[in-house]
Amino acid sequence: MVVNAQSLEDKLVEMYPEIHTHRLAVGLNFDSAKKAWIVHFKRGDHELTTHLEAKDAEDCLNGIKCVYLGVQIGQFLKNFEAV
């Protein structure tokens, strides 16, 4: 399966609506050396960069939630509660 940045972003937002609810900007790029998608979330001055393995990205497009990414998003949003 071919994964591209726009289809992956669309699917992430669909699966994790809190991305838009909390107005997070999303950036995606593929790191061929790591064979993983680098996922950037930003809101104001706050940023989180994490990765999504190529297989997890494919699973995501097939409707399988990535627990690791969901935890990362949740923790990032939780950090805003203290700000």
For the cut 60, the answer to whether the pLDDT of residue 45 exceeds it is yes
Checking DSSP bridges between strand 36-43 and strand 25-31, what pairing results, if any?
Answer: antiparallel
CA–CA distance, 82 with 7 (Å, rounded to integer): 32
User: For 63-71, what is the mean pLDDT?
Assistant: 82
**Per-residue confidence (pLDDT) for residue 63, from 0 to 100:** 85
3-state SS of the chain: helix, strand, coil percent to 5? 45, 30, 25
Q: What is the mean pLDDT of residues 12-34?
A: 91
Which residues does 56 contact at the CB level (< 8 Å), separation at least 6? 66, 68, 69
- Residue 32 vs residue 18, higher pLDDT: 32
Mean pLDDT score of the chain:
87
Query: Is the pLDDT confidence value at 58 over 60?
Result: yes
